[in-house]
Structure 1
Amino acid sequence: MKKRILAVLLAAATVVSLAGCGSDTDKKETDKKDLTKLTFVLDWTPNTNHTGLYVAQEKGYFEDAGLEVEIVQPPEDGAEVLVASGKAQFGISFQDSMMPALIGDDALPIEAVAAVLQHNTSGIISRKGDGMDRPKGMEGKKYATWNLDLEKATLKNVVEADGGDFSKVELIPSTITDEVSALESKSVDAIWVFYGWGGIATEVAGLETDYFAFKDINSDFDFYTPVIIGNSEWMKENEDTTKAFLSAVKKGYEFAIDDPKGAADILCKAAPELDQKMVQASQEYMKDQYKAEVEQWGYIDPARWNAFYNWINENGLSETEIPENTGFNNDYLE
């Protein structure tokens, strides 16, 4: 059959161009087989924390680096377990939530290798005029809590730092996925949000809000969230591949900084279920957060990283003391 097709092609006037196209296709297929396959696990559904990854995939930055990267949704027990198991080489996590995985006899072989954002953009959002533009104002109000010890300790710290009584905050166990509806319905009064997504959602919806950021109350809370984590053991054995991966991801986030609209379009193409207006507004906000004031995307400041874990140690929030410089590594950034 192949011989018959070839005979027809050779008889055609466009023999050179057609044969050339066939050769290019074969070459691409061969080249694709030569790519190193990696799996990257998200922390949640696609959003603007992840834009650089999708840009790197769409623009061919991964392929240029000799990589074929599959981006997958996280399992119930989170990205940390999947990365530690070796089923994924990289994933998204957060300095606060990855902390339990870094200590004790059951510590997992994971570490943060790049900061997606340079600063903690999370804080408390509430309906404008309800008196919660500062932490003390949460007294007597309903706060949607995940019932996590570290979460409640953080909130207690900022409320008391503002002269408030944390015991007067009404904790409502709830996992809010739609901040606008939750605030408009008054099912809760205050929500912990990452402003680049949850806060921007209220702006797009035209809901007036008050907001305060944790890092503005206590500098120890300017921790890294989110971060890209990797399997420590795998990365040691595959240093060049790790550097190539992070270099491609860096290009993706730098594209998002330079062209937020184009990056938003790429994210919406990868996740068409997202609201385009929301993504574009979020991307415009995030372009100033990916690198902020630092020159190198992904850099983790050891002083800020350690400050947060030292605060955890000082407040007895970890069964095992967390040593300095635990859980991060800047060595793979270029």
Structure 2
Amino acid sequence: MRKITALLIIIGLLSIPLAGCNQTPQPAPNEKLTKVTVLLDWLPNTNHTGLYVAQDKGYFKAEGLEAELLQPGEGGTAQLLAAGKGDFGISYQEEVTVARSEDIPVVALAAVIQHNTSGFASPVERGIKNPGDFAGKTYGGWGSPAETAMIRALMTKYGADFSQVKMVNIGSADFFTSMHKGIDFSWIYWGWTGIEAEQRDMKLNFIKLRDENDSLDFYTPVIIASETKLRDNPELAQKFLRACSKGYEFAIKNPEEAGRILLNNVPELDQNLVRASQKYLAREYQADAPRWGGMKQEVWKKYADFMFENELIKKNIDPEKAFTNKYLP
């Protein structure tokens, strides 16, 4: 699973609070659903399962929403949402931090996965055991400034020269194909690509970011929206997040059935990979958080400070404006 760009989600209809219970509102039989567009960060995978579950189980519809899934396009999710090209999107804390430092007004609404399971992976024969070994190697990525920033910062820690890394934009090419076409290492999610490597019996060296620095245990991926969208239609965000929360909570409790739902919607995915990945992520979506999606200010501050101190962003950000938990149920 990598950084990705597009998926699904939406909701709309007032909730009816009752004493002692939290009922899901049901739209009137002939009520027109509100269409919501969701931009994925990458091709569909188990990072996005909760969205597909919310669609399949009618959680979006119960909120009066009709979700439209959009595949990755030109530009990052943050830039597209800020330009009004979608309602919600799948992004990651590093993209939001860079965007906020450049006065691009996007806000993270929920953490899809509570802890950072991503890192830099390479076949063991490439001999890349730590970021210092990136020198002289070729990196395959998706052309994000966050990638360049992260690689430079990690190499600096080891006294290595970033200019010795060849950066190649591989677009939507998968990790395994790229490794056979001159790429030495890439940024992956262990819960998808790492598990697939295990199934292929491919030995990897994996540099987990949060092991390199606890400031790198950031939220990735996250659900985001623009400040304009939140200001103009806060109820839409509440409905959207209620449906998303139910979708991911279902995936946590029922990974096998959630995997089947994802496969029904994206049948070209490998069944064994989806099953194994879904089982792995069922423990990671919420992990040790009191509720799915919740985020902590200290996580946002530590990562923003890391970025600023390593000159990866030109100005620091206000963490309180970069994320919010107020739309979560």
Same fold (TM over 0.5): yes
Letter in 2 for 1:92: I
Question: Which of residues 146, 154, 157 is equivalent to 2:153?
Answer: 157
For residues 99-126 of structure 1, the C-alpha deviation after alignment (integer angstroms, 9 at most, x for no partner) is 343245xx34421100111112111112
- 1:223 to 2:221 alignment: no
**1:260 matched to which residue of 2?**
255
Question: Which of residues 56, 60, 73 is equivalent to 2:71?
Answer: 73
**1:281 matched to which residue of 2?**
276
For residues 37-59 of structure 1, the C-alpha deviation after alignment (integer angstroms, 9 at most, x for no partner) is 32222122211111100000001
**Of 135-144 and 300-309, the range deviating more from structure 2:** 135-144
Q: How does 1:1-334 map to 2 (within 5 A)?
A: 31=29, 33-104=31-102, 107-128=103-124, 130-144=126-140, 149-161=145-157, 163=158, 165-167=160-162, 170-175=165-170, 177-183=173-179, 185=180, 187-334=182-329
State how far apart, in whole Å, the 1-side matches of 2:99 and 2:162 are.
Answer: 30
> TM-score w.r.t. structure 1 length?
0.81
State how far apart, in whole Å, the 2-side matches of 1:32 and 1:204 are.
Answer: 48
State how far apart, in whole Å, the 1-side matches of 2:114 and 2:124 are.
Answer: 28
The answer to whether the 8 Å contact 2:96/2:108 transfers is: no
For residues 120-153 of structure 1, the C-alpha deviation after alignment (integer angstroms, 9 at most, x for no partner) is 2111112235543333444544433556554234
Deviation at 1:317, TM superposition (A): 2.4
SS of aligned partner of 1:123:
strand
**Of 142-151 and 310-319, the range deviating more from structure 2:** 142-151
The answer to whether the 8 Å contact 1:135/1:164 transfers is: no
The answer to whether the 8 Å contact 1:204/1:281 transfers is: no
For residues 218-274 of structure 1, the C-alpha deviation after alignment (integer angstroms, 9 at most, x for no partner) is 111112211101232332343333222211111101111111121111111111222
The answer to whether the 8 Å contact 1:118/1:289 transfers is: yes
SS of aligned partner of 1:242:
helix
Deviation at 1:79, TM superposition (A): 2.6
Q: Max radius of gyration: which structure?
A: 1
SS of aligned partner of 2:78:
helix
> TM-score w.r.t. structure 2 length?
0.82
For residues 156-211 of structure 1, the C-alpha deviation after alignment (integer angstroms, 9 at most, x for no partner) is 333443x452358542524272222333x372332221212222221222212121
Distance 1:328 1:279, change over 3 A: same
State how far apart, in whole Å, the 1-side matches of 2:159 and 2:181 are.
Answer: 22
**Of 252-261 and 76-85, the range deviating more from structure 2:** 76-85
For structure 2, the residue ranges without an aligned partner over 5 or more in a row are 1-25
The answer to whether the 8 Å contact 2:138/2:168 transfers is: no
Letter in 1 for 2:160: D
- How well do the aligned residues superpose, as a CA RMSD in angstroms? 2.6
